[in-house]
């Protein structure tokens, strides 16, 4: 597996309170996996990439699956994954730890889409049809849950496994009957007027996103991660309170129309989810379902993939910072 070249994004060194951090010269860079620029643009727009006492090296990934592979290989230190992709990454055997969880609540979350003029009206109509998604993704997991909810099995449909960059084209070309995907792809398809929602994932998924770190990083870069999770927490608080600015920052990076991102951010609320036994138990159910469906080759004990130590640090992030003009 070849991973993208990691380009360092060097950040300024602040004047730190005595004893708060080790000397900045002693802190190793934190290597952050970035999926479609999500984390970098959020942190940059909110001002949280200013006065960081260590370097952050961002690397880009098109989807969660290759990002999880990079974590497993130790090519990056931390990265964001949905619940299903994180289980898939744990199933590969590498020691990973969730250090932060963000809950996404909104209209444009993971959904199963069909062409606007499709005759399909419910998940039950997917029997014998082709559904495009990416294996091991949250979209894949939504299809499994939706089929079970409708009394169907995965053997009742044909999966077309493609990355999101190719999946929309497959749907438009008629090479698939439905597409299970997530934001911003849901927003793009829906606001473009060429798709509609067949089944929302709101009641089938927990809509949590996990910031996972390699175990080595939690041991050797604990100070950096403790600081990073606080910055990320503040950044999401900023996004909730500065929706237009956040949408503008997204549009600048993605080059999509501003109205696409406005539609998404105006319908989305971000909140902190603690690492709790209940959250771990919910993710264990995801792992068990993946095992039943043959997505995982062996059982996965997800309880080993969390570090509650970082809950306390995120709880200190109570004041969003404003980006300097």
Secondary structure E strands in the chain: 7-9, 30-35, 56-61, 78-82, 96-106, 111-115, 130-133, 158-161, 178-181, 195-200, 208-214, 268-273
The DSSP secondary structure of 225-247, one letter per residue, reads: HHHHHHHHHHHHHHHHH-HHHHH
Q: One digit per residue, pLDDT tens: the chain, 325 residues? A: 444 444 433 333 333 333 455 555 689 999 999 887 789 999 999 999 999 999 999 999 887 888 889 999 999 999 999 888 899 889 888 789 999 999 988 766 789 999 999 999 999 999 999 999 988 888 999 999 999 999 999 999 999 999 888 998 999 999 999 999 988 788 888 887 789 999 999 889 888 999 999 999 999 999 999 999 999 999 999 999 999 999 999 999 888 889 888 888 888 899 988 999 999 999 999 999 999 999 899 999 999 999 998 888 776 765 444 343 3
In this structure, the strands spanning 130-133 and 178-181 are: parallel
Gyration radius of the chain's alpha carbons: 20
Helix, strand, or coil (residue 175): coil
Q: What tokens does 172 get?
A: 């438009």
Domains and CATH numbers, the chain: 7-15+23-104+207-314 (3.40.190.10), 111-200 (3.40.190.10)
Query: What whole-number distance in Å separates Cα of residue 19 and Cα of residue 36?
Result: 36
Q: Give dist(CA 75, CA 73) in Å, integer.
A: 5
Rounded Cα distance, 146 and 245, in Å: 35
Name residue, tokens 């949590």: 208
The pair of three-digit structure tokens given for residue 325, joined into one six-digit string = 């003009």
Q: What is the pTM of this model?
A: 0.82
């Amino acid at each position: 597996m070849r991973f993208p070249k990691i380009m360092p994004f060097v950040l300024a060194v602040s004047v730190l309170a005595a004893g708060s951090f080790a000397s900045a010269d002693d802190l190793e860079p934190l290597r952050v996996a970035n999926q479609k620029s999500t984390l970098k643009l959020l942190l940059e727009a909110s001002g949280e990439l200013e006065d960081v006492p260590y370097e952050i090296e961002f690397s880009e990934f098109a989807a969660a699956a290759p990002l999880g592979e990079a974590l497993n290989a130790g090519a990056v230190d931390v990265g964001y994954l949905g619940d299903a992709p994180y289980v898939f990454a744990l199933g590969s055997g590498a020691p990973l730890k969730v250090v932060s969880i963000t809950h996404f609540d909104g209209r444009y979350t993971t959904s199963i889409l069909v062409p606007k003029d499709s005759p399909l009206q419910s998940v039950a109509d997917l029997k014998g049809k082709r559904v495009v998604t990416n294996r091991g993704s949250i979209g894949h997991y939504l299809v499994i849950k939706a089929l079970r909810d409708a009394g169907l099995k995965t053997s009742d449909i044909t999966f077309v496994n493609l990355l999101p960059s190719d999946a929309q084209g497959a749907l438009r070309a008629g090479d698939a009957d439905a597409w299970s995907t997530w934001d911003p792809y849901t927003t793009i398809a829906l606001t473009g007027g060429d798709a509609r929602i067949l089944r929302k994932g709101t009641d089938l998924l927990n809509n949590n996103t996990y910031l996972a770190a390699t175990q080595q990083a939690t041991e050797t870069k604990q100070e950096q991660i403790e600081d990073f999770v606080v910055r990320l927490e503040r950044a999401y608080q900023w996004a909730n309170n500065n929706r237009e600015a956040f949408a503008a920052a997204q549009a600048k990076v993605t080059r999509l129309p501003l109205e696409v991102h406005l539609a998404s951010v105006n319908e989305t609320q971000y909140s902190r989810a603690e690492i709790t036994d209940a959250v771990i138990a919910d993710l264990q159910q995801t792992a068990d379902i993946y095992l039943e469906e043959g997505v995982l080759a062996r059982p996965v004990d997800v309880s080993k993939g969390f570090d509650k130590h970082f809950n306390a640090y995120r709880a200190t992030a109570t004041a969003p910072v404003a980006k300097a003009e």
